[in-house]
Amino acid sequence: MSAEHAADAAPAPATGPAAVAERHPREDVGHWLSREASQLAFNRRVLAQAQRADVPLLERLRYVTIVSSNMDEFFEVRFPDTLEALRESPSEAAKHRFADLATQAHELIDEQYRVFNEEVMPALAREGLHVLNHAERNAAQRRWVREFFEQQVRPLLVPVALDPAHPFPVVANKSLNFIMRLEPLADDAAQARAEDAGAVGVAILKVPRALPRVVRLPDHVMSKGQQGFALLTSIIRAHLADLLPGRTVQSFSQFRVTRDSDLEVDEDDVTNLRQALRSGLTTRHFGRAIRLEVVRTCPAELSELLLEQFELPRQALYAVNGPVNLVRLNQLIELASADRLRFPPFEAGWPSQQWPRGVPVFEQLAHNDVLMHHPFQSFDPVVQFLREAVEDPEVLAIKQTVYRTGAESVLMELLIEAVRRGKDVMVVLELKARFDEEANINWAERLEAVGVQVVYGLVGLKTHAKLLLVTRRERRADGKPYLKRYAHLSTGNYNPKTARLYTDVGMLTANPEMTADVDGLFVKLASLVAVRELRHLVPAPTRLHARLLAHLATVAAAARRGEPARVVVKVNALTDEALMDALEAASQAGAQIDLIVRGACMLRPGVSGRSDNIRVRSVVGRFLEHTRVLYFRWGPRESDEVLYLSSADWMSRNMFRRVEAAWPVRDRVMRQRVIDEMLVPYLMDTRDAWQLDSDGRYERVADGLNDPSQSVGAQAALLALHAAAGQEPA
């Protein structure tokens, strides 16, 4: 019996109330760390990248913008439940929880703006990149900015003075706005009439999203070798008075509201999920307010008016020292002409040792599977696999899952072409991929229009597994035809753009048992019929959680016998309580456990008598860590170990509310490569790694080195490894 199947013979997980608790984590997390606080800690690690002298300056600015983007999502998705609990039941516990998280968020955002203002921007100025406000612009620059404002900006701006006929306008989620206090009219009689009419002396200006948030000044108004930029907020601020002729702006502030943006659709109560989500997207931008951002100089009376308007507590007010949306500073990174201030480009290589260039994919897979480690190795082989399938007249059918593929996708275009060539194409498209709903709905409509069979998976479950299956007609030696399947399985999305930014691993295989499992899962997703027991693929929500618990129990038993007992898990998040309990049990039995968790981790390592043998580290580097690798060892024999690649994080939602897929790497050489590339370097990292202590604090591993310049980063080592293999960076 194989190691992975032996796990299925272990006792089944608990059922009843305990199982329900596993699926829906308790509000009282007990000795676990707070998930939300852990998410904020991850963003502090991202912000630390912006302070590193060894990171190129424009990339340091990019990390600042990434923190802003992450914090937007935190307030849109993670924080609303905390605020709603306070609104519905203002108990002391709810008040404390809200206040604690709000305090941590305030501290993080204050530190972010300090790094932006005191470290990153002065360093960019020393390199000749200047973001100039109105006071810093010379006469020529001011003339150019005024002309730009008059021609490109002013025609799109319409301030609204508030009165009974002009109520406070509806403000969209994360949009840029100005609030202005107007001085009373000089004519006392006119002012009295305005007051009688209910005018409050306040005006609101909504700034269209279409306007660029960063504008590069032309070289002819700059000193030689210098580059100048103006923020849209600075341009509008300098010309506010021009927008209200006859009125004087007494005080003003930018402001921005972050709203609850989690789409809630009752799938049991809708007849067409796509139409229901399309309808929901129209109201997403106007959900309940969660956070209010203003500039630090905003007068108290204006911020109080805004808090009242949006029904927010004072702790939801974030007065920042700079523009209210640092995310849009990524436009400066793209506009700047300074390649020396960016990460050096690299050319992701072809996996030539497994698949020589020029060899057709179906011919290659007849000999061996192909493992690809992105972004160190190119995503192009995946595109090539699908392209060859589309162009091959012997390919009869293509099936693919789609979670996040982007508004533009060569893979989706290839599927459309496949239908045009008469192939049977089925796409399991996840409409509820958060913040990608609109792009996926658009793809669903395009695919259906040309005849692709589009299905949306199982009611109540998100389809998060990454699978691509090709069925091809081939001939045996005696000339008789038969059908052969080829599959691609991945830990990451079918998105060539993010494949250059995220670390992931994918595998191409023609193994008949594995491809039969992939086909069985597609049949289940499309038709809801019972399928044969899968032999290798381990899906969620039906088997993955139980399989992992069984493996951890087996490791614990081996440790108690004094045999080698080892667990190494690399995931993006660890929040499932049953899995954390099992990890602690294995630790107490004596197993050695290393957890490489990029983001939220609720488990406390190093707690005496509970998690003494558990170490947790997080790696934050040039690329977003996204690979999920699961390694278990419970004895001295080779058969006593198993390694999986997986689309699932160790979270209850992934285990019980998503369709996921994990699969074992059974080839010995390939399994060792996964260990050597995707686990060992991250355990040895002394450049980008952080260690979690039992109090929930992360300390950079490199801080303990006598000479940090000698530190080694996993990502840098992997880039060098694949360059040394003949894949030199451009």
With b meaning 16 or more CB within 10 Å and e meaning fewer, what string describes 213-246? bbbbbeeebbeeeebbbbbbbbbbbbbbeebeee
Residues 6+ apart with CB under 8 A from 344: 729
DSSP state, 685?
-
Helix H or strand E segment including 67: helix 57-73
* Angle, vertex CA 438, rays to CA 435 and CA 443, nearest 5: 125
Quick one: which of 420, 348, 428 has its CA closest to 381? Answer: 348
Q: Please check whether residue 259 is in contact with residue 173, taking contact to mean a CB–CB distance below 8 angstroms.
A: yes
How many angstroms separate the Cα of 74 from the Cα of each of 143, 215, 314, 532, 626? 41, 28, 18, 41, 19
Amino acid, single-letter form, for residue 516: A
DSSP state, 700?
E
Q: What does DSSP say about strands 466-475 and 289-295: parallel, antiparallel, or unpaired?
A: unpaired
What is the Rg, in whole angstroms, of the alpha carbon atoms belonging to the chain?
Answer: 28
Residue 550: how many CA atoms within 13 Å on its side-chain side?
Answer: 18
DSSP state, 454?
E
What is d(CA 541, CA 534) in angstroms, rounded to the nearest whole number?
13
Q: What does DSSP say about strands 202-206 and 214-216: parallel, antiparallel, or unpaired?
A: unpaired
Residue 25: how many CA atoms within 13 Å on its side-chain side?
Answer: 24
Q: What does DSSP say about strands 698-700 and 538-540: parallel, antiparallel, or unpaired?
A: unpaired
DSSP state, 32?
S
What is d(CA 467, CA 539) in angstroms, rounded to the nearest whole number?
12
Residue 488 designated active-site: no
What is d(CA 249, CA 257) in angstroms, rounded to the nearest whole number?
22
DSSP state, 598?
S
Q: Cite the DSSP H helix spans in 330-479.
A: 330-335, 361-365, 380-391, 410-420, 437-450
DSSP string, 112-131: HHHHIIIIIHHHHHHTTEEE
Residue with tokens 């597609």: 522
Residue with tokens 């450049």: 687
Residue with tokens 């030199």: 728
What is d(CA 669, CA 674) in angstroms, rounded to the nearest whole number?
9
Specify which residues 689 forms β-bridges with: 619
Token pair for residue 187?
Answer: 């004519």
Quick one: which of 643, 661, 655, 625 has its CA closest to 537? Answer: 661
What is d(CA 605, CA 691) in angstroms, rounded to the nearest whole number?
10
How many angstroms separate the Cα of 320 from the Cα of each of 118, 119, 124, 256, 401? 14, 16, 21, 11, 42
Quick one: which of 198, 193, 194 has its CA closest to 164? Answer: 198
What is d(CA 400, CA 466) in angstroms, rounded to the nearest whole number?
8
Say whether 661 sits in a helix, a strand or coil. strand
Residue 366: how many CA atoms within 13 Å on its side-chain side?
Answer: 9
Q: Which of 464, 536, 545, 626 is catalytic?
A: 464
Quick one: which of 107, 109, 121, 113 has its CA closest to 61? Answer: 121
Which positions are annotated as active-site residues?
A: 464
